[in-house]
C-alpha cells in the first residue's frame, strides 16, 4: 500500500453556528492547534500525498490559516451547502488527478486516529471500491447504522429509516470513508438528491457501488477517534481526551507527571525522559525539554527550550525565546523572555530577564529587572560569565555587565561594567538621628487635626 497515491479530501465548510463564534468552527483549537490541522496531520500520517480542503464560511480566514499548517494543500470553496457528496465534488479538480485512494474526512473530527485511516486504505488495496469507517458509540441513538451482510456493507441507514431490528445495531457511521480513485467521480456523479432535504448525501455511494457489483466494506475506529465537534462543550471534551492521551504517552516515554490530570500539553510539546513535572504546569506551543529537567508547580512555559538538568519554577513563566542551557535555574515568580540563561546560571526569585544573555555561572539576585523597552524599541542586556547581580537591581539596556562583574544591591545600572568590576548605582544613604520620631509625631498631629475638622 505504501506505493499507492492518496488524496485526502477534508470537508471544512460548515459554519458551526452552535459554536456561537464568528470564527470558522474548524479553526477552534485543540492543544493549541486548529482542529482541522489535527485532521491534516492524521491524513498525512496515514500516507496522504495530496490534500484538498473544501471550505465555505470564512474562506479568506481559512486560507490564511491553512497556509500555516498545510501550505501545499489545495482549497476549494463550496458555494452552496447541498450535502456531503456535493461538498466532496467541490474538489473535483483534485480528485480527477488520478490518485489511487481518496480519503474523505471531516475537519471537525480532530481525534481521528491515523491507523483507522490506514486500515480503510488497506481495504482499497485489497480490492474494495469503498471502505466506510464505523464506530461503536456508548449510545447509538441518532447515528446512522452500518448494515452488513456476509461481511459486506450494503447500506448506511439513518435512524429515522431503521427498522426496530436495525435500531439495535451498535455499529454506526463515523462519516469518513476511503474510495477507490478510479471509481470516485463516477460514483459521486451518480448520487441524487431525491430526499426530504433535496441534498446530495455521500452515504448513498454505498448502495450505488453495491448495485454496480463493487466490493463495499466497513472498518472500525474507536469512539473517541470518530468524535465530531459541534459546540464548545464538545470541544472541551475533545481537549480532555487529547490531553489524557498525551499525558499517558509522556509517562510511558519516561516522564514523571506527579498529578497528570493537572498538566496541559501543546500539540508539539517535546519532553525528554527522566524529566519531572509537578502539578499545574501549562506547556504552550514550541516547548522542547531535554532529559532530567525539573519543572515545578504552577509554571507557564511557551516557545522555550530547556536543556538537561535545568530547574524551573515554581510559579515561573518562560515566554517565547527563552533558552535555558544545562543546569540553569529559573526560580519562583521569575519571567524570562527572548533570553539565554547559560549553563549553571541562576535566576532565583521575583526577577524579569528579557532580551538578554545571562552568562554561565552568573547569579541574578531577587527583584532584578532588565529594562529592555523604552516604549518604542527593545534593547539587549549582556551579563557575563560568573557575574553577580545584587537584589533589587535595574539594568537599563543596552548595557553589558562584564565577566565576573559585581552589581551592588539596589543599583540602577545605565553604563556598561567592565570585567571583575564592582558597580554601585544608587543614592548614598543618609541617616538623621531622631528625625524618624519627629516625622511620626508630625504625621499623627496632622491626622488628628483632619479628624477633628471632619467632626
| Residues labelled catalytic | 349
One-letter-per-residue 3-state SS of the chain: CCCCCEEEEEEECCCCHHHCCCCCHHHCEECCEEHHHHHHHHHHHCCCCEEEEEECCCHHHHHHHHHHHCCCCEEEECCCCCCHHHHHHCCHHHHCCCCCEEEEEECCCCCCCHHHHHHHHHHHHCCCCEEEEEECCCCCCCCCEEEEECCEEEEEECHHHCCHHHHCCCCEEEEEEEEEHHHHHHHHHHCCCCCCCCCCCHHHHHHHHHHCCCCEEEEECCCCCCCCCCCHHHHHHHHHHHHHHHHHHHHHCCCEECCHHHCECCCCCEECCCCEECCCCEECCCCEECCCCEECCCCEECCCEECCCCEECCCCEECCCCEECCCCEEEECCEEEEEEECCCCEEEECCEEEEEEECCCCEECCCCEEECECCCCECCEEECCCCEECCCCEEECCEEECCCCEECCCCEECCCECCCCEECCCCCCCCCCCHHHHHHHHHHHHHHHHHHHHC
Amino acid at each position: 500500500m505504501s506505493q499507492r497515491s492518496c488524496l485526502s479530501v477534508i470537508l471544512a465548510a460548515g459554519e458551526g453556528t452552535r459554536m456561537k463564534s464568528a470564527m470558522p468552527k474548524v479553526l477552534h483549537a485543540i492543544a493549541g492547534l486548529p482542529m482541522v490541522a489535527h485532521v491534516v496531520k492524521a491524513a498525512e500520517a496515514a500516507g496522504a500525498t495530496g490534500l484538498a480542503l473544501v471550505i465555505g464560511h470564512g474562506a479568506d480566514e481559512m486560507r490564511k490559516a491553512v497556509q500555516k499548517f498545510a501550505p501545499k494543500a489545495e482549497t476549494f470553496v463550496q458555494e452552496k451547502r447541498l450535502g456531503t457528496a456535493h461538498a466532496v465534488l467541490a474538489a473535483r479538480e483534485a480528485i480527477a488527478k488520478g490518485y489511487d485512494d481518496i480519503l474523505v474526512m471531516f475537519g471537525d473530527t480532530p481525534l481521528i486516529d491515523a491507523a483507522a485511516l490506514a486500515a480503510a486504505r488497506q481495504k482499497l488495496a485489497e480490492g474494495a471500491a469503498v471502505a466506510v469507517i464505523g464506530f461503536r458509540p456508548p449510545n447509538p441513538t441518532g447515528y446512522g447504522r452500518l448494515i452488513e451482510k456476509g461481511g459486506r456493507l450494503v447500506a448506511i441507514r439513518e435512524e429515522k429509516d431503521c427498522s426496530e431490528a436495525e435500531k439495535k445495531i451498535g455499529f454506526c457511521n463515523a462519516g469518513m470513508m476511503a474510495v477507490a480513485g478510479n471509481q470516485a467521480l463516477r460514483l459521486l456523479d451518480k448520487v441524487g438528491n431525491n430526499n426530504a432535504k433535496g441534498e446530495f448525501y455521500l452515504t448513498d455511494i454505498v448502495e450505488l457501488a453495491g448495485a454496480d457489483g463493487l466490493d463495499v466494506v466497513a472498518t472500525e475506529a474507536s469512539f473517541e477517534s470518530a468524535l465530531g465537534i459541534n459546540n464548545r462543550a464538545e470541544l472541551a471534551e475533545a481537549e480532555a481526551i487529547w490531553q489524557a492521551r498525551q499525558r499517558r504517552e509522556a509517562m510511558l516515554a519516561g516522564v514523571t507527571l506527579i498529578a497528570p490530570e493537572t498538566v496541559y500539553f501543546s500539540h508539539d510539546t517535546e519532553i525528554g525522559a527522566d524529566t519531572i513535572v509537578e502539578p499545574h504546569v501549562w506547556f504552550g506551543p514550541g516547548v522542547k525539554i531535554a532529559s532530567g529537567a525539573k519543572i515545578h508547580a504552577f509554571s507557564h512555559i511557551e516557545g522555550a527550550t530547556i536543556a538537561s538538568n535545568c530547574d524551573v519554577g515554581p510559579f515561573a513563566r518562560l515566554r517565547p525565546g527563552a533558552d535555558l542551557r544545562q543546569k540553569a535555574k529559573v526560580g519562583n515568580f521569575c519571567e524570562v523572555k527572548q533570553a539565554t540563561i547559560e549553563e549553571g546560571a541562576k535566576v532565583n526569585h521575583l526577577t524579569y530577564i528579557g532580551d538578554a544573555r545571562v552568562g554561565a555561572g552568573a547569579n541574578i539576585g531577587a527583584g532584578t529587572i532588565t529594562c529592555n523597552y523604552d516604549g518604542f524599541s527593545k534593547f539587549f542586556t549582556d551579563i557575563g560569565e560568573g557575574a553577580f547581580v545584587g537584589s533589587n537591581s535595574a539594568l537599563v539596556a543596552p548595557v553589558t555587565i562584564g565577566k565576573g562583574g559585581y552589581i551592588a544591591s539596589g543599583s540602577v545600572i545605565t553604563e556598561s561594567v567592565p570585567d571583575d568590576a564592582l558597580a554601585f548605582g544608587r543614592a548614598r544613604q543618609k541617616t538623621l538621628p531622631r528625625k524618624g520620631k519627629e516625622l511620626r509625631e508630625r504625621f499623627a498631629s496632622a491626622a488628628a487635626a483632619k479628624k477633628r475638622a471632619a467632626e
